[in-house]
Every structure is written in C-alpha cells, then in structure tokens.
Structure 1
C-alpha cells in the first residue's frame, strides 16, 4: 500500500518516462532518470542476483545493467533494435533493460491513483501508483528504490561507503603466504614458453609482464634483422624482438596464441615474441642443474644457463638468461638504436624503473568468455591440467579432485562451478592457477590464462555490491574502455569459506600417501 507521503513526493514530479514491457505500459519519475541508452555490451558477473545482466562501461563508469522483466517476475524476452536501458539514480547509477521506451509525459496530479486501487500483473510492492490515460488506458508507475532494494540490497550503502572511505585496496595476502616464504626461498620461480616446439623458461624476476601479441607490429625502416618493429604498450613504444630470430629459426606470422614477454635490458624494456607461454613454475633448486661446461660455447647454447628436470626427468626445461639472450653486440646495437630513434631522450631512464609505481600486476584468465584477474603475488604457479584427477568422495561439488604436484598433494577446484557458472569440457587451453587459501595450496581450473599485465590503480574501483557473496569474491573492477575490456578482480582469500578450506585440508592429509607424482 502506498502512503500519502509517497504520493506527495510524486505530486511534485509530474513528468514521467514511459516504456513498454510484455505489451503493458509502465513509467519511472523523470526526476530519477539520468539517461536512456541502447543495450550495451555487458560483462557477466558471477554470484550476482538473477536479474543482473552484467556490467557495462558508460563513458568510463561501471554501470550494473539489470532486467526489469526479471525484477517484476515477468517472462524473459530477447533483445532487439527497440530494446533500451533506462539509467536511473538508485544510490549509484543503475540501468534497467526495458522492451521499448515510449515517451515523456506530463500529468496532472489528480490523474494518479494509489497502487492498491488497481489490479496489475506486476508485484504491488514495486508499484507507486497508476496514471489514468484518456480513453481508459493505464500506465503503472514503478518505485525505483524498491526495485533496487528488492534485487541489490546494499547497493546504495556501498556507494555511500565508497564516498566516505575511498576505493581502498583489499588485502590479498594471508598468513599462509608468510609461512611459505622460507619454502619459496628454496625454489626457482620460472615462466615457461615454447619456441619451435621446444620448452624454455625465464626466471620470473626477469619478466616485467606478459601480453598478448597484437595482430601486427609496426615495422620501422632500416631496423635490424632481429627487431620486428614497435607496438604501443599503454602509451609507451615497446621495441619487439623475435625469439625465433634470436635463435636463428624461421619467423612465422603473428597468431592469437603468441605472447610478448616484456623483459628489462640495459636501462630499457624489450618485448620478446614467444610461440606460446605455457606455465608459471615453482621448481625446487635440487631439480635445477647448471648447463655442463663443455656445452657452454658460442652461439645458441650459451643462452641457456641451467636445465630443470621435471616429471622424473621426462621433461627438461632450458632456463635462459636475458643477458645471454641478447649477448650478441649486433642484437644490443639494433635494440639500442631502435630505442634511441623511437623513444627519444629520457625515455630509457623512465623505463629503467621497473617498480610497479602506480600500477598493479595481475594474472588475467578467462571463464565463460569473460576476463578475471588475481594479484600476481597471490599466484604460486600455473600448470597444465593433468589427464586424470583422483576424486574426493563426499566433497563439495566444485572439487574436481587431487593431484600430486612434485610431492605435494594439490586439491583442484573447478572455478566455473565455484562461481555458479556452467561446467565445460576439458581442452588444451585450460590451466590450473595455484593459490594458497586458508593455509592450503589449492589449484583452480580456468578456461585459459590470457596474460600477466600491469593495470593502473586509477582504473581500479570497487565492484558494485550486487550480492553479499559477489561483493566478497569479486571485490574490484578494472574498467578499460579504451581497450573495450572490463576485468573482474577476484579476492583470493574469499574463494573458499573456512569450513571448505578445512575440509580440503583433511582430504589432502588423507590422500598424501596415495597419489603418485605428476
């Protein structure tokens, strides 16, 4: 039932935006409508309410877009050329998807009747009143605040909190991370990649970031034979070198699976094109042996400084040194000449600072055609999904099983299932991202790992509070309109509840003596 105070508010707002849904006409007070737009591209958010269609970029702002049909318990319908999104002020901007926008009307206050006097197909608790139209028609006026509150409890509170406290960065570390520091000191962290079918690796501290190769590289006249050209990396020109050319192998056209590994070299940065980037490895030092002295001669062999013996020696990974890779005076001369010509004075000094500054480093991965990211400091390693996993009886439905990762039992979670997304068939692109949660090293299966990239803190903002669980798990959003991308930043320590982490730990201890190493 609508009170006299409610109607008094509407009496002061005689202008309404009318729209259609399911062949019925409805309206919002014009004072609550910010703008009307066409249906935008949206990024789907897991763990949100059923009405949420996704997040859209509205001129640099993150806009939650919701189905008004779903909010009003109506049958869903597809979008077409007449579909519109009415952006309202619901504490923070919120877009409601409607079938069609009709017009803007002005009414006499006496034309409004209370909602309880009229039968309607929508729920009465989101109805303010009904406008009587000449000819016997009616237009139902919906309550913006009740619509928002019915689906997005706490959305306005989150906006108020952001204004007071600012966009603070949630903690990604855990006490378990600190407990593992001693163990990490005895391991070598590597990024492995493939060139001409052979597996190589670079120490992770020599890698600034990893980005997907563009469709093409801008060639530079009179550039050396090893320098492919230059690309734009967030406003800076990055010289790009072909690893194949450094190795003296035939160069192939750039393909979607190619990655550019950005490394530091002599006060600047260089991008190195790899065929594919495979994994992030954390290898015990006892499995790493220096290259035998008689093999360390001139040419290509000198680029390898050690070899990792994995999978009981069945898999050998050659560890390269950036300095040895570009030890040739010709290569260094080509890169230096290119940097001087393209970057201008002072740029090398700016690039020499490889600290993160006002940027954060993330591992970006994909789930169900959307991009997610986790802080690189939270990632232990990234490995391929083994052919078989040992099932855990009477466990959570999102637990895929256990594997023995170099002597450590690793529980593996299907991240799609954990986030309420449909499962997918296994394929070669899937990877396991290994994190530490609640003191337990846990692997999460993702559709693919896209890149390791830097994101400016100025584009990071708190994710809209669309549901309590979503707000805990997807804590922030990186809005990148220039790239037509939006990354959902996952809060690692919220992926598993305390009881879930404890149950996984018990399963790990029970299986410790059963699994064979993989």
Structure 2
C-alpha cells in the first residue's frame, strides 16, 4: 500500500491533545475530544467481544466502550491499566473511550508543522498525519477519529439517538435474574427462565460438542446443558478454574424455556433478582453484527460493574444453541411426549427459595427484586427493634426489616453476605433481610402439602401464620412455603403498636 505525504501551507492554527503509549507520542484533534477520565474502577467485560474491546463503563448514565489502542497499533502492553487514562472521543453521535498511558498537553500547531498522510485507496488511515515540533526533534503521530470509529470491530454507541429513544419509552417495571459467568455480570428476563437448579449429576450426551457438556432429565424433559462461559467466549482465569471443585455449590443451571426450546445454561453463580424500568436500560454499543442481537441492553448497578441484559429470543434462536436443542428434542421426542401427557392438567408455579435458618420459598410474583445487603441503610430513631432502618434504592425509600430479629432468631454476626428481598404491600415497600437466596424452582400445585394446624401453632413467634404449605424437594428436604403478605402485615401492625 502506497502512502503519499503532503505538507499543508495554510497559516491556520489547529488544537491537538497529546497522549503517550509507551515510547510513542500520539495526538488527537481537540474538536474530537469530549473529555479525559481516569481508568474506571468498575469495567464490565463484554461477551464475544474482540480482544481490543476491554469492556464498558458507565459515564453519567451513558455506556462507554473502552478500546485498547495498543492492540490496534500493534504496540507492546507494558503498563498497568489502573494507572492509565481514557480519552472520550466523540464524532457525530458516536462515542468511544481510547486507553492511553498518560496525557500530555494541549498544543497549538500551525498548519506548516502538520503533515497529512493520504492512502492511494482513499480509505482513511488510523495514523492520518504527523506533527513536527521543536524543529523536527519531536514527532507526534496524529490519530484519525473517523478512521478509528469506522473500523469494523470498534464498538459504536449512538448515544443521542439512544437517549431520545429512552425518553419516549414507557416506565414499565420488569424483573431479571443476574448471574456471574467468568467475571462477566449478565442477566436474563425472569419470564424466560423456567427454573434455576443446583448442578446435578449430568448424563453424557450423544450430541455433545464444544459447548454442550451433557444433559439432564428435568421431570421427563431432556434438557441439554451449555457451558455458557465457553459459548459467550469468556475465559476463566486460573484461580476461577481451579476453584470450581471447591466452589461447585455456587454453580447453577439456568433453564430457559422459549418457544418450546429447553436449554440449560451453566453459570458460575446466581447473584440476585434485579428490577428495572425500560427507561433505565442503557443501549449496548454495537461492535459486531453477528453478536449485537444477543444483548438487550445494560443496567447500571449502583457504582459497581454494570449488568449486561441478554435477549432470550436471540439466545434460543442462535444457530449453535438451536441446533443442540433441536437435536435433543428429536432424539428423545417419545420420552418427552409421554411425560408431557402424564403431567397435563396440573398447574405449576414458580418460587424463589431462600434460607433463614430453614429452607423457605415464596411465590416469585410477591418479589420485586433481590439485592445484596447494603451498608447504606440509615437507622431510624424510635423504630421497632426488628427495623434496621431505611434504604434509598433508585429514587425510592424502603423500610429494611431484620426478619431474624422479628421472629426471635439468633442475630447475624456479620450481615454483609445476607440478601434483601424487596416486596411491596399496601403501597409500602419493604426490604426483608434473609441469610441467602438459594434457587428458583417450579412446583406443581398437586405436590404442595398442607402444614398441620398443630405444627403451625407450635411454631413460635408467629411463624405459623404465614406458613401453611410445604413441598418435598428431591435431595433437598422439605421446603416451607411462606406468604410474604402475612409477614408484611405483621410488620405494619407492630410498627404502629
């Protein structure tokens, strides 16, 4: 490829910002620079991204993709990211963050000291020219913002159009289940999840491939299990991989059921249930036409790494997953149809199971979301002993209830690992502190067993008022089903007593 160099003869002065990448000094036109920020503490890895896309971060409500210029310019990586800077480059309605080692200065450069490079094929080069300063002793290479943002694998975020689109969206509240996969924080809509189970002893699959690691029989339905980290192109670090044996109890299988496609996704850890409104969903940058449909958007996460929301429709219609699901359905069609006919007529309900000394379950419709315990709870003077205080959650105040204290159970030594169930009752919002959230299960109506009245009367401190049914979970013991409306009613009564 031939490159021609020409020198400008105009007397105009142009402003440039200078940056350093190792021993290389680069420049960007100030007109393309929006701002420069420190490398963010919370960066969200993006599945299926090219290696030069380091992740996303939330800059005042806008997702900014971070591009590693070293890889694009084939420079050695010899600096710590935490100490680097991010130059936010904006061109039209497209915005991206470029990683540099250090910032330099703002330069006023006469046109005579600028040399422009032009390619013979008329395509804009990434290095579009050079600045010759200090009598030619100092050379800075000029980066072309248009060429950088026009590369096929550089993510593009059309933030202004996205902002307008978000403003006209209805503020409809939705629920998702968030989980960890090889360091990435992902989520799926609650409506697409049939249930979430602990990792059982799986059967080897005759259709196993690089992502299908086995299959399981879920009440007569053959469900292929996908190694979701491998499917999403996420590499586990050595510590995570070696820790799987010790921490295998944290892994879960998220069972999707979309358009009669059943598939299980192996994830490292289920985190919480997250509620959001449509206008809180940030638009994901597009970095690959092949993969952009998998991502429905991104949710801010209170100063921590953001949560990438996946599209269940795109997942279940992805050629690789669809082929695995269709193959298992065809292979085991007779068994599935027989079990389905045996189950016909029974209704099923979805429950979230959690621990509070015992294994308890609550209908998923009674929960708004589940969050980690927060140290930002503000104690309220004069409140009952079981009220820990109030918590500000996305422009709403909710009352945080210590359920252990309410029922006379031993207190927490350290509540930092507890979870808070967010519920709403008679217009009031409550956060119920529980030990841990366990799973999401579906339960047939016929399997629920009434708890004898004698037993409920023996349950001290009012527990029996909200627990009238139980169900046996294979290999897990008895699950007591609790009505949160009864618990919240007791909170309301005792708070004004």
TM-score of Structure 1 vs Structure 2, range by shorter chain:
0.5 to 0.7
The answer to whether the aligner puts 1:379 opposite 2:193 as a matched pair is yes
Task: Provide the residue aligned with 2:132 in structure 1.
Answer: 132
Shift, 1:440, TM fit: 1.7
Task: Provide the residue aligned with 1:113 in structure 2.
Answer: 115
Give runs of aligned pairs for residues 270-309 of structure 1, distance below 5 A. none
Out of 202, 222, 225, the residue aligned to residue 409 of structure 1 is: 222
CA contact (8 A) 1:431 1:445 kept: yes
- 1:357/1:166 CA distance change after superposition, 3 Å: closer
Task: Provide the residue aligned with 2:65 in structure 1.
Answer: 64
- 1:54/1:359 CA distance change after superposition, 3 Å: same
Task: Provide the residue aligned with 1:14 in structure 2.
Answer: 14
1-structure distance, mates of 2:223, 2:168: 32
- 1:397/1:7 CA distance change after superposition, 3 Å: farther
The answer to whether the aligner puts 1:44 opposite 2:38 as a matched pair is no
Task: Provide the residue aligned with 2:184 in structure 1.
Answer: 370
Shift, 1:445, TM fit: 0.7
- 1:451/1:498 CA distance change after superposition, 3 Å: same
CA contact (8 A) 2:224 2:324 kept: no
Once the two structures are superposed, what CA deviation does each residue of 1:223-250 show, in whole Å capped at 9, x if it has no partner? Answer: xxxxxxxxxxxxxxxxxxxxxxxxxxxx
Task: Provide the residue aligned with 2:307 in structure 1.
Answer: 487
Shift, 1:387, TM fit: 2.5
CA contact (8 A) 1:430 1:449 kept: yes
Q: TM-score scaled to structure 2, two decimals?
A: 0.58
Shift, 1:87, TM fit: 0.9
Task: Provide the residue aligned with 2:265 in structure 1.
Answer: 444
Task: Provide the residue aligned with 2:280 in structure 1.
Answer: 459
- 1:154/1:34 CA distance change after superposition, 3 Å: closer
Aligned structure 1 segments of 4 or more residues deviating by more than 3 angstroms: 1-8, 10-13, 151-154, 158-169, 423-426, 511-515
Out of 103, 106, 123, the residue aligned to residue 105 of structure 2 is: 103
- 1:78/1:22 CA distance change after superposition, 3 Å: closer
Shift, 1:50, TM fit: 1.8
Number of equivalences: 322
CA contact (8 A) 2:94 2:156 kept: yes
Shift, 1:160, TM fit: 6.8
1-structure distance, mates of 2:252, 2:154: 35
Q: TM-score scaled to structure 1, two decimals?
A: 0.56
3-state SS of paired residue (1:472): helix
- 1:114/1:493 CA distance change after superposition, 3 Å: same
Task: Provide the residue aligned with 1:389 in structure 2.
Answer: 203
CA contact (8 A) 1:392 1:402 kept: no
Stretches of structure 1 lacking an aligned partner (at least 5 in a row): 118-122, 170-355
Task: Provide the residue aligned with 1:27 in structure 2.
Answer: 27
- 1:20/1:385 CA distance change after superposition, 3 Å: same
CA contact (8 A) 2:47 2:184 kept: no
Shift, 1:134, TM fit: 1.4
- 1:124/1:442 CA distance change after superposition, 3 Å: same
More strand by share: 2
- 1:64/1:6 CA distance change after superposition, 3 Å: farther
CA contact (8 A) 1:167 1:461 kept: no
2-structure distance, mates of 1:498, 1:7: 53
Once the two structures are superposed, what CA deviation does each residue of 1:241-285 show, in whole Å capped at 9, x if it has no partner? Answer: xxxxxxxxxxxxxxxxxxxxxxxxxxxxxxxxxxxxxxxxxxxxx
2-structure distance, mates of 1:168, 1:357: 9
Task: Provide the residue aligned with 2:343 in structure 1.
Answer: none
2-structure distance, mates of 1:465, 1:160: 15
- 1:81/1:46 CA distance change after superposition, 3 Å: closer
CA contact (8 A) 1:47 1:469 kept: no
Of structures 1 and 2, the one scoring higher in RCO (CA 8 A, sep 6+) is 1
